[in-house]
Chains A and B, each alone.
Chain A
Amino acid sequence: MTSLHRPTSLDALHPPADSGGWRRWPAAHNFVLAVLFAGALIVGWAVLPGEDERIEALERDGQTGRALALLEARFNRGDRQQRTLASLRRFYEYYGDTPKSLTMLELLIEQRPRDMFLYRQLVQLYRQAEDEPGQVRALKAQLAIRYSEPVCQRLIGLLRRASDFAAEQQTLIDCRNSGYRRQEDLERLAFLYAADGKLSASAQILSAVDDRRWLRGSRERLMLFEALLATEAPADALRRGVRWYRGQPNTDFALEMITKLIGNERSDLALQMARDLGKPGDPVSLAAAEILVDQVQYAPARLFLTGWLGQVRTLSLETAARFVAAAVDAEAPSLALQGAERYGLGRFRPTDLTGLAEALMAAGQVESFDKVRATLPVEALAASALLTAAIDLREGRLEAARSTLASSTIDPQDERRVALKARLLILAGRPASAGSSLVREPTRTDNQLTPPLTVTTPGEVQARRILVPVDVARRFKKRRLATRPGTVAVKGAPAAPTAPTAVSPSFTYGQQ
């Protein structure tokens, strides 16, 4: 509607009387305006930035102090919204206020008790605060919600570091039941079980690890080997042992396993292992001869040793000493001398050769005896009354020899020396006691052993152990002393062979 009428100011004060609609207009107009104003207010209010937005804006502008103040005010008013708590936590972290940050996180966790992400943050915060008990609590809480390998690993480590071995073991068990398969920790659990005397549990865990990816350390392998033997599973032990050796040949380890089999009265398996693992002329196969000697099967042992010596290419002192001792024990001093000469008489320790010298003299092989005794130092000769007497006799000092023999006392169990003394007495013109014979006496002494080695490196290097080289024969010693001496040999004559027990023909391979 258009009108040419231009109202004056008075018009405005007095609208036309005939326009009743205009009279109502001011009220409607005011109402509309009021509505618009109210609407604008509402819209304005609605579009005004809220406190959260203001906080964000302040933070964006670098006014973190003001933002924090707003948040703290909200918190003090009782606001426990997750958003508030999370923001406060973030601000406290920014300011480096770890205790307050922890409080906010704990409040958040109260509201979200199954939020793994929050728990991870909690663990991290406890770690930052160097609060180890808190860290352990948080890790346990995390595990109670859901299994996690890193959480298990950390918790186990913390408990172990705190020397809380019972809690460590329980956590290991719980984690394992939940699916934890970290090899080092499972191996650790097996050792803890073994310390409790639970060898079957130990064997079960180690077998599982070994089946999965093979045990790596020789100590762990040996533990499993022993646990299997203890739990009446020697065949399994043998199977694994052979597999380990073939995967990673280690003479010392093989000898250790053979020793353990013998220690468990399983010489048959020990022989089988020596056969399976050894090669002609190597230190492992020499164990077969030692086992035969241990079983008083001298003839096969001699046969084996002869073949073995024919195959051998290089000899270490330890192996050479083992050979000499085994040959002497198998009543084959000539063979022992042959082996000793092969290695070099001058390279032996005196203790390795005194037994050989005695055996040669007892067997009446005087020229060989002279050869050996020439390499022995005076002290070594003087230490043995029988050798002293033998030398006196060889050099014609009859009275001196008689005197030495008269004053010497021999252990009646020491049959080689008994036989030697008898022979010397005869040579000295004195009657020998009955029953003297050349039989085996362990010629290996403690100091022939290879020393132990442990390689456990502190610091950055992970502790690892190298297995101890083992003198198999020495391991037999105790048993052998306990066994009844073998057949008595006639002095001066070649030793009478004992009836060989059933030996696999393959044991003659050493002669090839």
Chain B
Amino acid sequence: MREARLHSPLPPAPTLSAKFAMRLLILLAFIGAAVLLDAARSSRALNVEVDGRLVSRTVLAIYDGKQEGPPHQTRLHKLAEMPLNHLGYMLEYRDVNGPLPPLDELARYRAVVTWFVEPLADPAAYIKWLEPAVATGQRYIMLGEIAPRESDELMSAINRILAPLGLAHAGTFIDLTYKSKVAFQNPEMIGFEQKLDKALPGFPLMVQRSPQLEAHLVIDADTVEGRRKAVVVATGPRGGFAAQNFTVVLEPNTDRLSWVINPFSFFAKSLGGERFPIPDVTTVSGRRIYFSQIDGDGWNNLSGVEGYRQILSAEVVLRELIEPFPDLPVSVGLIAADVQPLLGGNPAGAAIARRLYRLPQVEVASHTHTHPYNWSFFEAYDRAKEEKLIKNYRPPDQPLRERVTSALARVAGRPVTDQRYDPFVSGSDDLPRTYLKAPFTLDLEIRGALKISENFAPPGKRAKLYLWSGDATPFEGAVAATRAIGVRNMNGGDSRLDPEYPSVAYVPSISRPVGRERQIYAVNSNENTYTNDWTGPFNGQAMLVNTLTNTDKPRRLKGFDLYYHMYSGEKQASLRAVRKLLELARATPVIPLDASQYAAMADDYFSTEITQTGLFKWVIRKRGALETVRFDDADQLAIHDAESLGVLGANRHQGSLYVSLDPAVGEPVVVLRAREAAEAQGRASSTDPAQGGEPLLMLVEGRWRISNRQVEKCVQSMTAEGYGAGELVFEGRRNRPFRIKVSRDETILSEEIRWTDANGRLALQYAIDARTPLRLTFACHD
């Protein structure tokens, strides 16, 4: 039997143990297949999940218009919007007293954010909207109070709102805190600019109800029920909460604000910490942007600078601050009436305007027609009201000496030499605008003013920028008028971050919301604030250097904007301060741009759409002039050169990865991968990357703007354009030779063979004028 079995052509009948083993094998095979299938399914599910998902960047900001006024006066705008902008988000404002969005529209918002402090007119109505809104799964970020003053009836609803956040309101406020102790604080979140006060401020007794909630500050509070743990700052998957006294504090003696919580970290965590390419307006070609704009104020002032006495300030600025710096562009905004004698201007200024606008580094701009100080006055303009103001205006008293001299001159029948008072030219914001002779018309104020500026420019050189005057808070119609003409607008904001204003609370957001329009804020403040409204010290703007440093590190919040007025040409000290800043700009690795280019980038920050198409893959759409996207905490990440499309390269700064996009590519695709993998490939590969569609060289940083990169077999070309000498750094395979050609209109301006260094870097310098675009060509040279 045994032999027969051995020789039987049929397979032997399995024994019991063999049967068992086989079944086990089959079972294991099934399990294995199931696991694989599941893995495949989940991997597909992951792809499906991210495929084509529009990154939601809009946060619904609900404010109390009755207490805080228009959106630009709210805490959310003044304090929260800048950190949110930095993280890639934009705010859409709604007044709590008006209609709030229907619940079915909430899906398009990333979160709802509020910062209520003063009592609401109708907290019940708001709670009635908020409760179902939060129940839809919407993230809710609450700074300050939920709905002050909450009545008894609302408490249970408030707790239902707080429940998804993982919080519950115990219904007590601890006002006297001397018995309270800090139980826990997250040093990365608390004490950002101001440490926790030794005498703790009051706080509500919020208790943690969910382990998913990450408490950042917990206070062991003494209550009537005994000691309890109060959570005063927390974030979680459904939003965040920061009690009012632990957000921003005001130091009353110095009248300065400072953040207690880290707003960047708080908002990032509250919004889920999603990684996506953040539209960035601080950096182009891997470098911090530089631009400059001059408001025309003081154009006709006589200078007191040695060697320029009795010369107009505008001329001093031209000769001292603009002509010697052809590598640093500047946008000059003329006040049209300044050169119109009929309105009270000085025709001598016109010649200077012509000379200025002839310079290639000068961009034509307008600083209004009649220089409004108070823009809101003109929203519902009434000439009769203005005339009444003019009539009732009492000019400042003349000094006694001048009055006596004038009186004596009049008695003697001699001409009075002192400046006669012109009721239609105001030297201060006591009246609504500077030039009051003709009635205000919006068209003349904007279109007319731009046209006048253009008239002084060489043919074809168009005015591109409108610089707001006075309080720099134009009404919606005025901003819309600039858009209608097709120019960019800018000014306002007054950014400071220095020992005198030691908080990011003084760094404004990108723009000011004004109805359906956006006013783009200037990036830095001007000498008027640094010189205490031009009363001195007149070298005050030299301190801009502190803000420049602090807004670049530890995170780049703003570019480098040298913003001043023509009256800087009036004083020796102010002239010196601006000159030093120009020299600093020259010595700093920046990319100089026209101010209108920045304004365009800032505008397009808001239109940019980002669609996630893979775990580490995004498509950027509707980006307009925006040229950089950023990834924070990206030390371990790198651009996947071969997979990305329209990506010129990337640079690192303070742990962030700044990705330069090719302006010529409409919808670039950004793909990330592990930095190690990228570096390993750079070390290992010996083939020409261009053959695989991968660029030969990626841009790291440069003083010129790069565009229209073409990659062919072992040849890569691109267009370069910019101010000043070309400083370009590329990165590619190590120790590779390239034939580099610089040409313009078929004319070769430079040709050389250069090798990438041991790090794969290739640093180029060209003393060529690139204001007219150049073509750079890199070819393999083996």
Contact = CB atoms under 8 A, between A and B. Distances in A.
Interface in A336-384: 349
Contacts of B156: 349, 447
Contacts of A456: 117, 201-202, 244-245
Given A450-B152, A458-B250, A130 B498 contact: yes
Interface string B519-540: 0000000000000000001111
A470 to B, nearest CB: 9
Q: Which of B151, B498, B539, B577 has the most CB of A within 10 A?
A: B539
B67 to A, nearest CB: 9
A422 B699 CA distance: 86
Contacts of A404: none
Contacts of B152: 317-318, 321, 349, 447-451
Contacts of A453: 119, 145, 148-150, 173
A459 B250 contact: yes
Given A452-B204, A468-B172, A160 B253 contact: yes
Contacts of A468: 172-173, 175
A484 B194 CA distance: 49
B118 A96 contact: no
B306 A64 contact: yes
A62 B537 CA distance: 19
A154 interface: yes
B173 A457 contact: no
Interface stretch (B329-337, B568-576, B715-723, B758-766): B568-576
Contact of B145 (A131, A195, A454): A454
A398 interface: no
A136 to B, nearest CB: 11
Interface stretch (B254-262, B446-454, B555-563): B254-262
A465 B119 CA distance: 12
A308 B117 CA distance: 35
B201 to A, nearest CB: 7
A454 B539 contact: no
Contact of B202 (A95, A98, A226, A465): A465
Contacts of A98: 537, 539, 542
B171 A449 contact: yes
B700 interface: no
Contacts of A259: 224
Given A98-B537, A459-B257, A463-B245, A62 B309 contact: yes
A266 interface: no
Given A65-B306, A455-B117, A127 B171 contact: no
Nearest to A166: B198
B754 interface: no
B120 to A, nearest CB: 11
B639 to A, nearest CB: 39
A364 to B, nearest CB: 31
A208 to B, nearest CB: 18
Nearest to A219: B175
A414 interface: no
Interface string A310-326: 00000001100100000
Nearest to A188: B199
A465 B537 CA distance: 38
Contacts of A165: 195, 197-198
B274 interface: no
Given A451-B150, A456-B201, A222 B176 contact: yes
A466 B204 CA distance: 13
Contacts of B542: 96, 98
Contact of B573 (A96, A130, A185): A96
B178 to A, nearest CB: 4
A158 interface: yes
B379 interface: no
Contact of A454 (B191, B202, B543, B572): B202
Q: Which of B172, B177, B244 has the most CB of A within 10 A?
A: B172
Contacts of A223: 176, 178
A93 interface: yes
B251 interface: yes
B153 A94 contact: no
Contacts of B408: none
A214 B248 CA distance: 28
A192 B199 contact: yes
B573 A478 contact: no
A462 B252 contact: yes
Q: Which of B153, B505, B577 has the most CB of A within 10 A?
A: B153
Given A157-B251, A451-B155, A95 B79 contact: no
B716 to A, nearest CB: 46
B497 to A, nearest CB: 11
Contacts of B57: none
Interface string A181-194: 00011001001101
B415 interface: no
Which of under 10, 10 to 19, 20 to 34, or 35 or more describes the interface residues of A? 35 or more
A63 interface: yes
Contacts of B311: none
A11 interface: no
A56 interface: no
A446 B171 contact: yes
A165 B1 CA distance: 99
Interface string A434-450: 00000000000011111
Given A64-B306, A161-B254, A478 B158 contact: no
B546 interface: yes
A153 B199 contact: no
A178 to B, nearest CB: 17
B204 A455 contact: no
Interface string A237-264: 0000000000000000000000100010
Contact of B178 (A93, A131, A197): A197
Contact of A478 (B199, B224, B304, B574): B224
Interface in B153-198: 153-156, 158-159, 169-173, 175-178, 191, 194-195, 197-198
B502 interface: yes
A474 B159 CA distance: 19
A467 interface: yes
A130 B541 CA distance: 11
Contacts of A474: 224
Contacts of B203: 454
Given A165-B197, A349-B153, A452 B205 contact: yes
Contact of B199 (A194, A318, A448, A450): A194
Nearest to A195: B199
A294 to B, nearest CB: 13
A454 B154 contact: no
Interface string B268-302: 00000000000000000000000000000000000
A488 B151 CA distance: 36
B78 interface: yes
A94 B572 CA distance: 7
Contact of A450 (B151, B250, B539): B151
B253 A94 contact: no
B99 interface: no
Task: Name the 6 nearest CB pairs between A and B, nearest first.
Answer: A157-B253, A452-B173, A96-B539, A96-B573, A449-B171, A163-B195
30 contacts: A64-B572, A93-B573, A95-B573, A96-B537, A96-B572, A97-B576, A98-B537, A127-B500, A128-B539, A130-B498, A157-B251, A160-B251, A163-B195, A169-B198, A191-B199, A195-B178, A349-B156, A446-B170, A447-B152, A447-B155, A450-B152, A454-B203, A455-B148, A456-B201, A458-B79, A458-B250, A459-B75, A459-B248, A459-B250, A468-B175
Interface of A: 62-65, 93-98, 127-132, 153-154, 156-158, 160-161, 163, 165, 169, 184-185, 188, 191-192, 194-195, 197, 199, 202, 219, 222-223, 226, 259, 263, 317-318, 321, 349, 446-459, 462-463, 465-468, 474-475, 477-478
Given A219-B176, A222-B176, 11 more contacts: A93-B573, A98-B542, A128-B540, A128-B543, A130-B498, A130-B543, A163-B194, A263-B224, A349-B156, A455-B117, A456-B244
